[in-house]
Amino acid sequence: MRVLAIVPAFNEEECLANTVQELTATCPDVDYLIVNDGSSDATPRICDELALSHIDLPVNCGLTAAVKAGMKYALRNGYDAAVQIDSDGQHMPEYIPAMAKAMQDEGADIVIASRNLAGGGAEGARGVGAKLITAFIRQTTGATITDPTSGMRMYDRAMIEKLAHGFDLAPEPDTIALLIRRGAKVIEIPAKMRERQGGTSYLHFMSSIAYMARTCLSILLFQWFR
């Protein structure tokens, strides 16, 4: 099973080298691709100087565009699965083999690394929002996703193709809900995650509230018109 780790990176000069080093040391059989999303810091220089496997987007296009670029690369190069790994060191690559095994053993289309199954999970406003998203996904699909906002997700070949070509598909919980409604099998495995290892998250209190509100609205209303 050939797996590609897609590592979107926007201004991650503090974490990127360590993230890739841990990934390659822990999972030497897993290929990786950094998608430099128009970074304005030293991220492009680090990729070049360390000869890291990467592509450069000319301007900052956002997470969806970065992941989609990685999916196109995975599709064109014949990978069986692709897993998204945050470049800030939050996601632990030691769980990738377990995700791949679960995908094969259970015939899953998508495998999510769940903090909640490992006794963790988001806290504060993000935690409340995540619980609402879980409830709305259950209401609209019948499936229970304990950690819908987890960014560490593995997709099989069919899902890679959908995300590479689907103009309205993003690596977000509402897309997971939509794919479940269309017949995708989604499972979770327990996984611990760390705090961001450096840099600054684009999410703060108000943007987290706005993100959760948009996601919930999409699951409850907009996805029925997609």
66 phi and psi angles, rounded to 5 deg: -65, -45
DSSP 196: P
Residues 6+ apart with CB under 8 A from 133: 148, 149, 173, 212, 215, 216, 219
Query: What's the topology of domain 3-225?
Result: Spore Coat Polysaccharide Biosynthesis Protein SpsA; Chain A (3.90.550)
Give the burial class of 20: count Cβ atoms within 10 A of its Cβ; 0-12 exposed, 13-18 middle, 19 or more buried: buried
- Tokens read off for 16: 């990127």
Q: What is the pTM for the complete model shown?
A: 0.92
User: To 5 degrees, how large is the angle CA 155–CA 157–CA 161?
Assistant: 95
Confidence bin at 51 (pLDDT 50/70/90): very high
Q: How far apart are CA 138 and CA 134, in angstroms?
A: 6
Average pLDDT value for residue range 210-224 = 83
Q: Residue ranges per domain, the chain? A: 3-225
| Model pLDDT for residues 54-108, shown as the tens digit of each residue | 999 999 999 999 999 999 999 999 999 999 999 999 999 999 999 999 999 999 9
The answer to whether 163 and 171 have CB atoms below 8 angstroms apart is yes
